[in-house]
Amino acid sequence: MDQLKWLLVLCASALLYGCGSTPDKSERAENNVSNKQTIQEEPDLPQNPMYYLNEAQRIFAETADINQRNYWIVQAAESYKQQNACAQSEKVLHISLSEIKDPILRNQSYILLAECELTKRAIDWLKVSEYQQYIDPAVSHKNRALKISYSQQLHHNQWLNAASTLLAIEPTDNLQTTEIWYLLQRLNEQDLGNALRSHSQLAPWLQLSLIVKRFGLQQTKLQTAVNEWQTRYQDHLLSENLPQEVQLALSVKPIEMQKVAVLLPLSGRLAQQGLAIKEGLLSAYYAQQQAMSTDVVENSTVLHFFDTEINNVPKLVEDVSEYDVVIGPLIKEKLAEFSALAPAHLNIIGLNRLDISAEPEELTSLDSNEVPETSTPETTTVPGIRVYFALSPEDEAVQLANKVFNTGVVSPIVVTQQSGAPMRMANTFLQTWQMLVGEDAPAPGLATFTDNKSMRTSLTSLLDVAQSKTRIDQLENLTSEQIHSVPRNRRDIDAIVLFASPEQTELLNPIVETSLSPFNDKAVPVFASSRSYSQNFSNNSLRDLRNITFTDMPWMLPDEDHKALKNEVAKIWPKQDDTLKRLFALGFDAYSLVPDLPGLSALPQVSVKGLTGTLSIDQDGNIIRVLPFGKITESEVILLALD
């Protein structure tokens, strides 16, 4: 009884001060969809919380029935939550929970605590997991309990489990059907096939997903397979409302390729880079020609090259406005200007990535899948496809962060050159890492360097090796005895991530190895980006770089799929450096992608394998590259299996 009085006093005080803090509209809008769903399915409680607390006091005074009292207390907690006063709901429950023994009320209490935690700006996922241990959907409030599981599965990127949980929430409607579809689009073809054997309840979504992955770029086969699937699942909600991108893929028109313009810097300071891209484009062009029959070749594509260094952008727009496809420009500023001035019908593969916020307004509203409104129907034209293809260092850093995180690393440190692309990559890695581990988790240590001397000093300082050496020196000064000692590094570090040039990495890796204590139970893995690797490494260099895991495009790794082309290119350009090799691959892929642009633009979940990576197009028109990883052994580079 004393406890109930305390509850009433506490809540009455809270009401006087506005029932605790209520999140504003903008804060609530930031919560994800699943969290919003969690708070929708609740009992209709017309009274304010104090009414239920008074009822609890009255009924307990009359009957001494603890279960009845607890029922009204839990109703008060529900009412507080409905009024967006989760702080008071949590207080009520934490005070009462030890006396709530009824399984249904106890289940409901933990559901409320978890739901309240999920409304917070900074969610404590460990706390949600703790609450979930006491929640059983079979006991009560099935849908609400499942939505909590769904939120956690989304947080942990457990897409298949999240889809299965969402399907169990009743009744299944069009919104759920669509959400399940998009969850499963995050799985690759192999994962979808495995899921089909283990999650039969998701068969309609999984089978259609596999159809799209396999035939998304072959419109006739896609149409046939989708028709057969719809016949099999004619009464299913997904069949009645095909995903929008599937409908689009079934209706896209192929791109005409009779005239292709290529805009590159073929003179001036970037002439060498422009020429490497041109060579890649021509290699892809001639490979396409060889694959065609004689009749087709007579009406095949004509390539025209334009030098962006001797032609200004308005002149380029005028010269190529009647072409079918334009590849380029390469320089970001010229690409932005060209995209803004080019006629809407023109298909463009830009060889850089635009800053969307900096684009003119008409550009940001133009989507390859939309027809812009015009003043009269007669002047309406179908817009061309516009995509942007960049060898982005930041994209690499994001993939590297995910790779390191997925290996189970908890406390990495980052070592980087203090300026330029390596520093940008390091910052992107750190930002991505924080998103993966949560805002409250400690940030990885960062060591920066400007030259070879500061490289060693910065790294050994971050590893605490310098401090260990200082302690050893102090001990030696205190005694006349000879001390046999080995400096120790920090024991909490479980990975080192390098952003440096090949030459710097050759110096860094031995410093890392000599700085790590031999008393460690296991070796600390070292990860790097493509900027740390060169195909020109000698056997001695490879020994110095042993055990480094790095990411790079397939063209630079021991990839059997492109062996014949590599041999041919090596004969023609035997002294081509690493940068030019990567630009050659960019040109080759840019041209090779043209026939697949309509399908890839319609279906972001579909990809093709290229020299530069596994390629897909996101909803902003950016070509996304998924890169493989290699590992350096004592004498060679081995290609690692995909995650």
Tens digit of each residue's pLDDT (9 = 90 or more) over 35-57: 333 333 556 676 789 999 999 99
Alpha carbons 234 and 155: distance in angstroms, whole number: 33
Tell me if 558 is assigned to some domain. Answer: no
Structure tokens at 3: 């406890």
Q: For position 455, what pLDDT does the model report?
A: 78
pLDDT at 442: 85
Do 548 and 441 share a structural domain?
yes
Query: How much is the pLDDT for 279?
Result: 96
pLDDT in the model for residue 23: 40
Vertex 549 angle, CA 543 and 555, to 5°? 95
Q: Is residue 265 part of a domain?
A: yes
Phi and psi at residue 563, to the nearest 5°: -60, -45
- What secondary structure does DSSP assign to 486-554, as a single string? -----SS--EEEEE--HHHHHHHHHHHHHHS-TTSSSPPPEEE-GGG--TT--HHHHHHTTTEEEE--G
Q: Which two tokens stand for residue 210?
A: 């596999």
Tell me if 293 is assigned to some domain: yes
Here the CATH number for the domain that contains residue 46 is 1.25.40
pLDDT higher at 506 or 310: 310
Are 225 and 215 a contacting pair, CB within 8 Å? yes
% of the chain exceeding 90 in pLDDT = 63
Q: For residue 583, give the amino acid letter.
A: L
Assess whether 51 and 149 both reside in one domain.
yes
Q: How does pLDDT run across 226-253, given as a tens digit for each residue?
A: 999 999 999 999 999 999 999 999 999 9
Task: Decide if 576 is inside a domain.
Answer: no
pLDDT digits (tens, 9 = 90+) for 79-131: 999 999 999 999 999 999 999 999 999 999 999 999 999 999 889 999 999 99
Same domain for 516 and 418: yes
Specify the pLDDT at position 295: 55
Residue 581 within a domain: no
Domain boundary among 124, 156, 188: 156
Q: Which of 251, 271, 297 is the last residue of a domain?
A: 251
Say whether both 136 and 191 belong to one domain: no
Does 547 lie in the same domain as 428?
Answer: yes
| pLDDT tens column, 139-159 | 999 999 999 999 999 998 899
1 falls in which pLDDT band (50, 70, 90)?
very low
Number of domains in the chain: 4
- pLDDT mean over 591-617: 96
Give the angle subtended at the CA of 306 by the CAs of 327 and 607, to the nearest 5°. Answer: 10
Neighbours of 558 (CB within 10 A): 12
8 CB-contact burial (10 Å; exposed 0-12 / middle 13-18 / buried 19+): middle
Inform me whether the pLDDT recorded for 194 exceeds 80. Answer: yes
pLDDT at position 641 over 60: yes
Is residue 116 within 8 Å of 42, Cβ to Cβ? no
pLDDT of residue 17: 32
More confident residue, 535 or 381: 535
Same domain, 199 and 291: no
State whether 411 and 530 are in the same domain: yes
Q: Cα(532)–Cα(246) distance, rounded to whole angstroms?
A: 40
Name the most confidently modeled range: 356-360, 561-565, 625-629: 625-629
Alpha-carbon gap, residue 418 to 429, rounded angstroms: 14
Q: Cβ(395)–Cβ(624) under 8 Å?
A: yes
Give the model's pLDDT for residue 485: 39
527 with 419, same domain?
A: yes
Q: Which of 187, 117, 192 is nearest to 151 (CA)?
A: 117
pLDDT in tens, 286-328: 998 887 765 555 568 899 999 999 999 999 999 999 999 999 9
Residues 113 and 201 in one domain: no
CATH number of the domain enclosing 286: 3.40.50.2300
- Residues 244 and 267 placed together within one structural domain of the fold: no
Task: Give a yes or no: residue 631 inside a domain.
Answer: no
Query: What is residue 172's predicted lDDT score, i.e. its pLDDT?
Result: 87
Hey, how many other C-beta atoms are within 10 angstroms of the C-beta on 539? 9
In the chain, the largest separation of any two C-alpha atoms, in whole Å, equals 97
Amino acid making up residue 257: M
Is the pLDDT at 186 greater than 90? The verdict is yes
Report cis status (omega within 30 of 0) of the bond before 243.
Answer: no
The per-residue pLDDT of the chain, averaged, comes to 84
Collect all residues with Cβ–Cβ distance below 8 Å to 284 and sequence separation of at least 6.
Answer: 587, 588, 589, 590, 591, 592
* Domain encompassing residue 110: 2-156
Are the beta carbons of 115 and 144 closer than 8 angstroms? yes
Angle at 582 between CA 578 and CA 583, to 5 degrees: 115
132 with 210, same domain: the answer is no
Is 281 found in the same domain as 239? no
User: Residue 366: is its pLDDT beyond 80?
Assistant: no
In angstroms, what CA-CA distances link 617 with 251, 330, 336, 353? 18, 18, 19, 12
Buried b (16+ CB within 10 A) or exposed e, 184-221: bbebeeeebeebbeebeebebbbbbbbbbbebbbebee
CA distance 502 to 515: 20
**327 in any annotated domain:** yes
- Residue 84 inside a domain? The answer is yes
| Of 552, 587, 603, the domain-final residue | 552
